[in-house]
Structure formats: structure tokens, C-alpha cells
């Protein structure tokens, strides 16, 4: 058996086209563009690449992009003051502070300073609480993109056994909440899980978000399962995911590649969250 390769790049492109059409309607009705402010602190090359592509995608969707670059040694108070300014700016519907921040800055303090109703990353504890209690809020972009791919692939997820490997606030925990909301039976596994292979073997859906190259082996996968690989690991041979792709693709029903799977979904969902925010704010 050979798995269906889930084309996240094509799905994300389609989503971005639909968003662009909705943005045009918003602009016609509201007389302004939805606006996304992205803050980059320091010169980390990977972060600079992400921020540039977020800005380009924002403009391509017809929205306003506000980029703020601060030096690596910026004081915490100065960064918080910028967040306050963006919170108060009516042209800004979404605020994203690119992580990781330099070590002297307190990421939690910065994340919690963002107005939860402009927190298009969904990282604010208020939004994590809203997700956990079923209230409307913002959901982190990567896990929401994964659920979109899963529903596109499988339709109704009710009753399926899902294993999420990884317990980060950004991916693992919100992913588990979203799958629970879809009525899956959800297991959260992590680096301390005993006998991970037998936990994975039971799963109809496997979401790997541990950040360890090719850690999930093909022989762990239940035949026909759907595998979503969130990992992006740079190795001597290039980019690889958290899943042994060749091994898993020979048993899975469907699998996301790395690159070209989950990655492109993150920016598309960020644009979606920004448009949703603009719509809510125009009310
Ligand atoms: N760093 C890597 N991915 C992300 C993301 O989705 N949002 C933010 N704010 N920082 C990141």
C-alpha cells in the first residue's frame, strides 16, 4: 500500500485565494483593509525569513502589513510599549510577535500584553482558556491548519483514535483540544511516554510535533492511518519531519510531506485569523 500524499501547499494556496476574495468584500464594506502587525526582535535569520513571508502573504491577500523591527538588545519595557501602541491602533486587527525572543526578554509577559482580541497567533492564555472551554477566540495557526487538512482528508473525525506526540502550548496542547472538539478519542504522548510505539499503533490519526528528526517509525503506524507531520528539522541531508516519511508512507492511508505539508498552512491560517479579527472588530 502506498499513502496518499497530502498536498498542504495546494490546500493553503486555495485557502489564501478564498481569503483574498473575502478581504475584497471586507474592504468594500468597511472602507479599510484588515491589518496585521508583525514584530521581529533581533536578526535571527530563520525568524527574518518567516516574517518576510508573512508580510508578503498579507499584502498578497489584500491586507495591510505593518512590520516592526527592533534591535536584539531592546529593553523589555520598549517592546511592551510597542505592543501597547499596536493594541490601541484601530488599523491593526492582528498582532504577532515572532518567537523565539532573545533570552533577556520574557516571552510570556510579551504574549500576555497583546490584546487577546488581536492575538491572531492564539498564544495568549485567555485564548488557550477559550479554546479549552469552547468559547470563541483565536486558535493557534499550525494546529488549526492540521485540523483543516484532516477534515479535508477524512471528513467527519468523530470517534477516531488520535495521538498527538508533543505537548507544547503552541502545537501539542491546542491540537489535542481541537481533536477533542471534533469528538476524537485523544491521547497526548510526549518524550516521557512509555512504549510510544504501541500508543501510536492504536491511532487512526497521528500528529507528530516533537521536533526530533524522523523519530516516529514506519512500523509504528497502523495500516491506513492518517499521519500529520508538524516537524521541520534541518539535517545534513536537508529538511526532514518528525516522521520517517518513506517508512510511514508505505503503511499509512495518507501523510503530509516535509516540506509542502503542514508548513504552508500556518501562514494561510494566520491570514484567516486576521480577517476573522477584522470582521469581529467591525462587528
Ligand atoms: N515562531 C515560529 N512559529 C511561530 C508562530 O507561528 N508565531 C510566532 N509568533 N512565532 C513563531
Ligand 1 mutation pick, 95, 96, 209, max ligand atoms within 8 A of CB = 96
Query: Confidence band (pLDDT; 50, 70, 90) for 44?
Result: very high
| Pocket-forming residues, ligand 1, beta carbon under 6 Å | 96-99, 121, 141, 266
Residue nearest atom 9 in ligand 1 by C-alpha distance: 98
- Do 188 and 102 share a structural domain? no
Query: Does the annotation list 170 as a binding residue?
Result: no
Residue nearest atom 11 in ligand 1 by C-alpha distance: 99
Q: How high does pLDDT run on average in the chain?
A: 97
Beta-sheet pairing, 161-165 with 185-189: parallel
Q: How many domains does the chain have?
A: 2
- Note the pLDDT tens digit of each residue in 72-99: 999 999 999 999 999 999 999 999 999 9
Nearest to 210 by CA among 226, 232, 194: 232
Active-site residue flag, 153: no
Please report whether residue 22 resides in a domain: no
CATH of the domain at 39: 3.40.50.10860
Active-site residue flag, 121: yes
Query: Does the annotation list 168 as a binding residue?
Result: yes
What is the model's pTM? 0.97
For ligand 1, the distance from its centroid to the CA atom of residue 100, given in whole angstroms, is 8
State the average pLDDT over residues 251-265. 98
pLDDT score of 55 more than 90: yes
The per-residue pLDDT for 272 is 98
Q: Which residues span the domain enclosing 210?
A: 141-263
Please report whether residue 20 resides in a domain: no
The per-residue pLDDT for 81 is 98
Please report whether residue 268 resides in a domain: no
pLDDT score of 1 more than 80: no
State the average pLDDT over residues 166-173. 98
Q: Which position among 22, 33, 93, 98 bears the catalytic label?
A: 98
- Cβ count near 127 (within 10 Å): 24
Please report whether residue 215 resides in a domain: yes
CATH of the domain at 156: 3.40.50.720
Which atom from ligand 1 is nearest to the alpha carbon of 141? 6
Amino acid at each position: 500500500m502506498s499513502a496518499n500524499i497530502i498536498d498542504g501547499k495546494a490546500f493553503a494556496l486555495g485557502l489564501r485565494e478564498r481569503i483574498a476574495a473575502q478581504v475584497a468584500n471586507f474592504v468594500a464594506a468597511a472602507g479599510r483593509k484588515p491589518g496585521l502587525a508583525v514584530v521581529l526582535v533581533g536578526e535571527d535569520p530563520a525568524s527574518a525569513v518567516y516574517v518576510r513571508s508573512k508580510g508578503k502573504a498579507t499584502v498578497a491577500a489584500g491586507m495591510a502589513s505593518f512590520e516592526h523591527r527592533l534591535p536584539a538588545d531592546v529593553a523589555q519595557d520598549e517592546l511592551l510599549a510597542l505592543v501597547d501602541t499596536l493594541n490601541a491602533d484601530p488599523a491593526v486587527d492582528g498582532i504577532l510577535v515572532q518567537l523565539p525572543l532573545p533570552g533577556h526578554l520574557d516571552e510570556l509577559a510579551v504574549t500576555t500584553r497583546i490584546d487577546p482580541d488581536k492575538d491572531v497567533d492564539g498564544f495568549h492564555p485567555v485564548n488557550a482558556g477559550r479554546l479549552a472551554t469552547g468559547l470563541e477566540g483565536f486558535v493557534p495557526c499550525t494546529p488549526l491548519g492540521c485540523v483543516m487538512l484532516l477534515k479535508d482528508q477524512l471528513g467527519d473525525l468523530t470517534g477516531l483514535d488520535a495521538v498527538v506526540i508533543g505537548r507544547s502550548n503552541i502545537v501539542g496542547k491546542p491540537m489535542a483540544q481541537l481533536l477533542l472538539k471534533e469528538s476524537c478519542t485523544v491521547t497526548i504522548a510526549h518524550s516521557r511516554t512509555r512504549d510510544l510505539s504501541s500508543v501510536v499503533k492504536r491511532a487512526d490519526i497521528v500528529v507528530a510535533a516533537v521536533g526530533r528528526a524522523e523519530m516516529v517509525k514506519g512500523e509504528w503506524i497502523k495500516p491506513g492511518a492518517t499521519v500529520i507531520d508538524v516537524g521541520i528539522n534541518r539535517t545534513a541531508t536537508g529538511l526532514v519531519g518528525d516522521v520517517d516519511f518513506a517508512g510511514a508512507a508505505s503503511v499509512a492511508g495518507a501523510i503530509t510531506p516535509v516540506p509542502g505539508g503542514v508548513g504552508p498552512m500556518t501562514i494561510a491560517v494566520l491570514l484567516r485569523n486576521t480577517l476573522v479579527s477584522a470582521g469581529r472588530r467591525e462587528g
